[in-house]
């Protein structure tokens, strides 16, 4: 008899838990995960903060995740699959590889789940919009600033985070195309890829600098790439000899600009990017139409304007 009562009591407790969970799920907020390219850089933390602010403003629930390294395409695919299993109402996605995720995104599209690309799009029209910097235009600006700093002639090198994401491709091509079209006396001697990792990027940069003693400038196409170049210049003891131009901010880059180690850097608006990604997802769920691209903007920052209101509105430390 006691065993029967105990069994019934356990069943009641378990049933109550299931009912409670079901009620919690049905009463819960709209769930919109954001699968990012990374998580470790200050840039992604700034994107996350913008997304969290939007989640509060629009009363939705988000989960901002990303792999430890921006070279972990397989890890990002695993994260995307995990979030798909949670049956989200919409999803934000920043692709490490512009093609790898397409089969998974097709499944989301089949299930009528709106997809908002951010930072880096995919080679597909599945995302309803892409919230990003105009990366080719921003990279062209970096090329203009480099040309100005080295007097329109000489040798420069480039290090990019990857050659598979749209950001990597566009920030590379925007720089190279502007150099080729506007600055015939500047030679790009090397383009390398460091996975956005500052240690790996520093090793690559040191090798390139040692192999090109006449090098005048170095362009790093994201936070990790640019800091890698700064560290390489520091370790080689050649500060002031090479003009370093970066992309993004973060405390290390801003400190490098203030100290003169870095000439300047293109600044995105990561907080705005995160905010507009969630905002676009909410609009899509309401049936509102979205433009093909939502420009999150960029500005140039150097030692002369770093503390102006325009720049301070978008930098992150």
> For residue 189, what is the domain's CATH number?
3.40.50.2300
Q: Are 229 and 155 in the same domain?
A: yes
Q: Is residue 18 part of a domain?
A: no
Residue 35 has pLDDT above 80, yes or no: yes
Residue 19 has pLDDT above 90, yes or no: no
Q: Are 225 and 251 in the same domain?
A: yes
Which of 238, 239, 234, 262 minimizes the C-alpha distance to 250? Answer: 262
Q: Are 123 and 158 in the same domain?
A: no
Q: Are 33 and 128 in the same domain?
A: yes
Q: Are 229 and 213 in the same domain?
A: yes
**Helices 135-149 + 166-182 axis angle, to 10:** 40
Q: Is residue 216 part of a domain?
A: yes
Burial 130-139 (b: 16+ CB within 10 A, else e): bbbbbbbebb
β-partners of residue 300 are 266
Q: Are 208 and 288 in the same domain?
A: no
Q: Is residue 62 part of a domain?
A: yes
Stronger pLDDT, 9 or 208, i.e. the higher one: 208
With contact defined as beta carbons under 8 Å apart, do 141 and 171 qualify? no
Give the residue numbers spanning the domain of 193. Answer: 135-267
Q: What is the DSSP letter of 105?
A: H
Residue 23 has pLDDT above 90, yes or no: no
Give this prediction's pTM.
0.80
Domain limit, last residue, from 249, 267, 285? 267
Q: Is residue 16 part of a domain?
A: no
How many separate domains does the chain show?
Answer: 2
Q: Is residue 81 part of a domain?
A: yes
Tokens matching residue 175: 């720089």
Q: Are 103 and 78 in the same domain?
A: yes
Question: What percentage of the chain has pLDDT greater than the value 70?
Answer: 91
Q: Are 262 and 281 in the same domain?
A: no
Q: Is residue 38 part of a domain?
A: yes
Q: Is residue 54 part of a domain?
A: yes
How open is the CA angle 116-65-224, to the nearest 5 degrees?
95
CA distance 275 to 39: 17
Q: Is residue 226 part of a domain?
A: yes
Tokens matching residue 113: 């789940």
CA distance 313 to 310: 6
Tokens matching residue 266: 């293109």
Q: Are 127 and 139 in the same domain?
A: no
β-partners of residue 130 are 117, 293
Q: Are 258 and 286 in the same domain?
A: no
Tell me, what's the pLDDT at 250?
87
Q: Are 158 and 275 in the same domain?
A: no
Q: Are 108 and 142 in the same domain?
A: no
pLDDT tens digits, 75-124: 999 999 999 999 999 999 999 999 999 999 999 999 999 999 999 888 89
């Amino acid at each position: 008899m006691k065993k029967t009562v105990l069994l019934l009591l356990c069943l009641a407790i378990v049933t109550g838990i299931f009912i409670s969970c079901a009620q919690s799920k049905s009463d819960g907020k709209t769930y919109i995960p954001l699968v990012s390219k990374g998580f470790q850089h200050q840039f992604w933390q700034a994107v996350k903060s913008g997304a969290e602010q939007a989640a509060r403003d629009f009363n939705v629930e988000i989960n901002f995740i990303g792999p430890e390294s921006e070279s972990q395409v397989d890890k990002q695919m695993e994260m995307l699959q995990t979030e798909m299993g949670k049956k989200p109402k919409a999803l934000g996605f920043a692709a490490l590889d512009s093609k790898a995720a397409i089969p998974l995104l097709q499944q989301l599209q089949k299930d009528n789940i709106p997809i908002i690309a951010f930072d880096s799009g995919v080679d597909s029209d599945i995302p309803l919009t892409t919230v990003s910097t105009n990366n080719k235009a921003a990279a062209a600006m970096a090329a203009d600033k480099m040309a100005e700093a080295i007097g329109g002639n000489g040798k420069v090198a480039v290090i990019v985070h990857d050659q598979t994401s749209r950001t990597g491709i566009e920030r590379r091509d925007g720089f190279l195309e502007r150099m080729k079209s506007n600055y015939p006396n500047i030679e790009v001697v090397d383009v390398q890829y460091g996975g956005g990792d500052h240690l790996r990027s520093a090793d690559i940069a040191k090798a390139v600098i040692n192999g090109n003693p006449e090098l005048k400038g170095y362009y790093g196409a994201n936070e990790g790439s640019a800091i890698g170049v700064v560290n390489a210049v520091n370790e080689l003891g050649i500060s002031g000899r090479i003009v370093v131009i970066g992309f993004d901010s973060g405390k290390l880059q801003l400190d490098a600009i203030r100290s003169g180690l870095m000439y300047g850097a293109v600044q995105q608006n990561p907080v705005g990017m995160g905010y507009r990604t969630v905002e676009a997802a909410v609009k899509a769920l309401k049936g509102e139409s979205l433009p093909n691209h939502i420009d999150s903007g960029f500005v140039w920052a150097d030692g002369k304007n770093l503390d102006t209101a325009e720049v301070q509105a978008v930098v992150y430390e």
